[in-house]
């Protein structure tokens, strides 16, 4: 593929105008939207309004006047159509890790009601995102190994492990290293046949992959707001609970914002009805407002169009890179079949970190994942096909000229 062909794709791109919604540094090709999405103009304007007018002028009255109190539900409602859910099944609050704790607790509570004498098991994948495993490990320490056990297996052994009827199946749809995608519908159906509750982490899915959680009868899900949703560093995460499970939902982090009447200040806790009981403490209004504004970018697009473009961008990058023989020094660890991966690519190379730093110096932002992975994300709202072609050509030149061997590129930053 030539640059001219990539430019023709841009001319036909129905999402091309979305680029104007973002403030991106001149001369930078940002392939890191799968780690931290860029700031949009709407977010800048919203934060200015919240700080200067709502917080600055209206102060505490903004909880009512500007409906701060409703932001977790309102923002969750904007995410709902992106994941195939109803607005009252999604709430924004806390982080992915905290929300996972709440949902694992909820699933275990249902298990205890049904099988009070049975030991619970949490099944996950060995190369799942580490924080998900850390939270699950925490449960084994909190409740004791006699009550709950974490079992991890390889992807190849998942089906047989699910056949052993675990209590909870905890998986991430898109592998954060390789980009390989699980079939949520098929796995959820099979898990339910084994009487197993399912929790999906959608952090690398939401905003780019088609999701139909209600139709697929998913039990629980979490996802973050700062990757493809562009909600800003540390943006609140979201939780999804299937409506069929809301009436008996129990979770132990019983904060006042999950109370049925928080401003009655009753001594005893009474959970709110529905999804709102997953709230704990006071919502972080600045970051919640930023995420709420960022989601406006998705109001008039279909996830199918986002997905098609994301895969197209990655294909253009691969074709541009393949035009150089130097590309043979990289090992593609992502599925070559675009339909089997998310909106990212991973390459293995012993000098992957140095290559990522050399790319950054050339204006191409990527990231590194231990031990030897160069990772690139293809966010469809703001990237162009021509940019992805240039990024592939830049990587090829760095490999051909071995620029990454310069000593300064090997000095590790604290955040990689």
How many angstroms from the chain centroid is the CA of residue 281? 22
Q: Of 30, 139, 220, 226, which one is the catalytic site residue?
A: 226
Q: Of 177, 309, 357, 375, which one is the catalytic site residue?
A: 375
- In the chain the first and final C-alpha atoms are separated, in Å, by 31
Signed CA dihedral, 382, 387, 392, 397: sign only: negative
- DSSP-assigned letters across all residues of 364-383: EE-EEETTTEEEEE--TTT-
Alpha helices in 175-258 (DSSP H): 184-193
| CA dist., res. 35 & res. 235, Å (int) | 12
Tell me if residue 176 is catalytic: no
Tell me if residue 408 is catalytic: no
Residue in the structure block whose two tokens are 């109190």: 69
Point out which residues pair with 150 in neighbouring strands: 122
H-helix or E-strand spanning residue 120: strand 120-125
What are the structure tokens assigned to 282, written together? 């006071």
How many angstroms from the chain centroid is the CA of residue 346? 17
CB 103 within 8 A of CB 241: yes
Q: Of 13, 94, 132, 201, which one is the catalytic site residue?
A: 201
Tell me if residue 353 is catalytic: no
| CA dist., res. 117 & res. 306, Å (int) | 47
∠ CA(207), CA(210), CA(216), 5° rounding? 125
Tell me if residue 272 is catalytic: no
Tell me if residue 226 is catalytic: yes
| CA dist., res. 26 & res. 22, Å (int) | 12
How many other CB atoms are found less than 10 A from the CB of residue 13? Answer: 18
Q: Of 18, 46, 110, 227, which one is the catalytic site residue?
A: 227
Measuring CA to CA, which residue among 405, 413, 414, 416 is closest to residue 358?
405
Specify whether the backbone of 94 is left (phi greater than 0), alpha (psi in -120 to 50) or beta: left
Query: 303 CB contacts (<8 Å, ≥6 apart)?
Result: 82, 207, 208, 209, 210, 211
Q: Of 22, 129, 307, 382, which one is the catalytic site residue?
A: 129
CA-to-CA dists, residue 82 to 124, 278, 352, 403, 411, angstroms: 25, 20, 33, 41, 39
∠ CA(286), CA(342), CA(228), 5° rounding? 15
Active site residues: 129, 201, 226-227, 375
């Amino acid at each position: 593929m030539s640059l001219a062909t990539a430019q023709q794709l841009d001319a036909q791109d129905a999402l091309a105008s979305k680029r104007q919604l973002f403030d991106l540094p001149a001369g930078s090709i940002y392939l890191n939207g799968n780690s931290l999405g860029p700031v949009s103009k709407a977010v800048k304007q919203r934060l200015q309004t919240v700080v200067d007018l709502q917080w600055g002028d209206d102060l505490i009255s903004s909880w009512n006047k500007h409906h701060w109190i409703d932001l977790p539900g309102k923002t969750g409602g904007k995410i709902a159509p992106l994941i195939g859910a109803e607005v009252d099944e999604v709430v924004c609050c806390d982080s992915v890790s905290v929300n996972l704790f709440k949902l694992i607790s909820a699933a275990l509570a249902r298990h205890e009601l049904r099988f009070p004498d049975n030991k619970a098991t949490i099944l996950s994948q060995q190369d799942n995102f580490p924080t998900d495993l850390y939270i699950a490990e925490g449960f084994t320490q909190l409740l004791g190994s006699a009550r709950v056990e974490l079992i991890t297996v390889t992807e190849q052994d998942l089906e047989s492990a699910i056949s052993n009827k675990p209590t909870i199946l905890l998986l991430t749809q898109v592998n954060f290293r390789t980009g390989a995608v699980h079939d949520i519908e098929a796995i959820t159906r099979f898990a339910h046949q084994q009487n197993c509750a399912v929790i999906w982490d959608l952090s690398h899915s939401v905003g780019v992959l088609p999701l139909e959680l209600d139709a697929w009868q998913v039990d629980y899900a979490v996802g973050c707001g700062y990757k493809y949703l562009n909600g800003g560093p540390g943006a609140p995460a979201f939780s999804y609970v299937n409506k069929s499970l809301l009436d008996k939902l129990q979770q132990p982090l019983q904060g006042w914002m999950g109370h049925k009447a928080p401003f009655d200040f009753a001594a005893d806790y009474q959970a709110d009805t529905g999804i709102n009981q997953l709230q704990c403490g006071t919502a972080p209004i600045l970051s919640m407002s930023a995420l709420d504004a960022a989601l406006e970018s998705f109001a008039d697009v279909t996830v199918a169009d986002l997905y098609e473009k994301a895969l197209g961008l990655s294909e253009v990058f691969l074709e541009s890179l393949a035009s150089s023989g130097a590309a043979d020094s990289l090992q593609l660890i992502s599925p070559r079949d675009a339909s089997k991966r998310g909106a990212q690519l991973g390459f293995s190379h012993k000098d992957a970190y140095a290559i990522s730093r050399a790319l950054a110096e050339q204006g191409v932002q990527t990231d590194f994942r231990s031990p030897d992975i160069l990772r690139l994300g293809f966010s469809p709202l703001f990237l162009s096909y021509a940019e992805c072609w240039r990024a592939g050509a830049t990587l090829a030149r760095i490999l051909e000229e071995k620029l990454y061997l310069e000593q300064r590129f090997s000095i590790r930053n604290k955040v990689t």
